Amino acid sequence: MNFKTHTLSMSPFLLLLALTVFPGNAWAVQSHGAPEGLYVHQLAHIFYTAAMCYLFWGIRQSAFKSRGWRFLQIFCVFMALWNVMAFTGHSLASYVDKADFTREAGYLSTQLLGPFTSVKLWFYFTKLDHLFSIPSLFFLYLAMKNIYRSSCEEEKV
């Protein structure tokens, strides 16, 4: 193998190495000003909720009745609830001012300031969306694990 052939075969690796070591602007995210970005983001929540509902319905109508498929249905329910909460939170964000919150010791110590209104309380509640997203990912893990195990058992038979 001569030097030219060796260099040509190494060029993709060298290009990847150069881009990793000397990164420039990625231009991967295109931000939009208000209100277009919010509209697209909200539509994404609506479509994701619809997809989770359709997947839930599809599993329910199918012959898949094992434990893993039930876990996948629970995942769909939790993700649909997470999307509803996130959609609501994004909608309420325009009604809440930044002055309604205090961050004395950083982001993790954010507190809601009074007087408390229903909009402020609903907005605060929607920021607890991890109470739906974390269990949903756990049920997705259980679903994948159980479906994998049942497929391995079927292959043995």
Residue 75 lies in a domain: yes
Element (H, E) at 111: strand 111-112
Does some domain include residue 42? Answer: yes
- Cβ–Cβ < 8 Å for 100, 127: no
Contact 89, 126 (CB under 8 A): yes
- Tell whether 1 is covered by a domain: no
φ/ψ of residue 79, rounded to 5 = -70, -35
The answer as to whether 150 is a domain residue is: yes
d(CA 79, CA 129): 10
Report yes or no on 111 lying in a domain.
yes
69 CA to centre of own chain:
21
This model's pTM is above 0.75 = no
Per-residue confidence in pLDDT tens, the chain, 157 aa: 566 666 667 778 878 887 777 766 666 556 666 777 788 889 999 999 999 999 999 999 988 888 999 999 999 999 999 999 999 999 888 888 888 788 887 767 777 888 888 988 898 899 888 999 999 999 999 999 999 998 888 777 6
SS3 assignment, position 62: coil
User: Within a domain: residue 49?
Assistant: yes
Q: Which residue has the tokens 């309604």?
A: 100
SS3 category, 112? strand
Domain count across the chain? 1
Domain that holds residue 144: 33-156
Answer whether residue 22 is part of any domain. Answer: no
